[in-house]
Amino acid sequence: MTDANGNLNTKATNTINFTLEGNGSIAGVDNGDQATTDKFQQASVLPDSTSARINAYAGKALVIIKSTKDAGDIKLNITSGGMTAQSIRIQTKAAANTSSDAISSYRMSKHCYILSGSSSIPLPQSVEATFANGTTKNLPVTWNDYDKDALKRAKPSSR
């Protein structure tokens, strides 16, 4: 949210409404406010795949858009009470690999904790992959080598 001079209004908490037209859907919204319970994909902020609303936090909000597999246009409309409505048009390309055996996502822990002075990191040996056809399968992971001696020399964090 900006003022008349284009400066970010860090006190703005306006409700921002998003509507989507065309070859896409709204995957989620956020505003960076760690204290709010209205987050990402909850029904309170995302009533359906083409509309969302969230209060700005420090003058900012985020909408995440997912395109379809087809080429075409997506138009995102943004409104907020007392503000000039805005829209953006996005041109999408057709998906390159739409076969049912393509991996669409995978699940793996993003944190790995070790004690200071450890001689190795226990990295996962497999990940759970979800394929375009909805099936899942554990697949092996191959990791690049790393300097194990550097782990032994690492100092503990002072946080």
| pTM passes above 0.75 | no
Q: Does 59 have pLDDT greater than 80?
A: yes
pLDDT single digits (tens) 1-55: 888 898 999 999 999 999 999 999 999 999 999 888 887 788 889 899 999 999 9
In the chain, what percentage of residues exceed pLDDT 90? Answer: 46
If you count them, how many residues does the chain have? Answer: 159
Percentage of the chain exceeding pLDDT 70? 94
Tell me the pLDDT tens digit for each residue of 66-113: 998 889 999 999 999 988 999 999 999 987 766 777 888 888 776 777
For residue 30, what are its two tokens?
Answer: 């956020």
CA angle centred on 102, ends 138 and 91, rounded to 5°? 135
Q: Quick one: pLDDT at residue 156?
A: 63
- Characterize the bridge pairing of strands 126-131 and 103-107: antiparallel
Q: What angle do CA 154, 126, 142 make, to 5 degrees?
A: 65
* pLDDT at residue 145, rounded to an integer: 86
Residues whose CB falls within 8 Å of the CB of residue 148, separated by 6 or more in sequence, listed in order: 119, 120
pLDDT (tens digit, 9 = 90+) per residue, 63-78?
Answer: 999 998 889 999 999 9
Determine the pLDDT at residue 73.
Answer: 95
Average pLDDT of the chain is 87
- pLDDT in the model for residue 26: 94
Residue 77: other Cβ atoms inside 10 A? 14
Measure the N-to-C terminal CA separation of the chain; round to a whole number of Å.
Answer: 34
In sequence order, which residues have a C-beta less than 8 Å from that of residue 78 and are 6 or more positions away? Answer: 16, 17, 18, 63, 85, 86, 87, 88
Local confidence band at 159 (pLDDT 50, 70, 90 cut-offs): low
> Torsions phi, psi of 40, nearest 5?
35, -80
| Residues whose CB is less than 8 angstroms from the CB of residue 85 and which lie 6 or more positions away in sequence, other chains included | 77, 78, 79
151 contacts: CB under 8 Å, gap ≥ 6: 114, 117, 118, 119, 120, 121
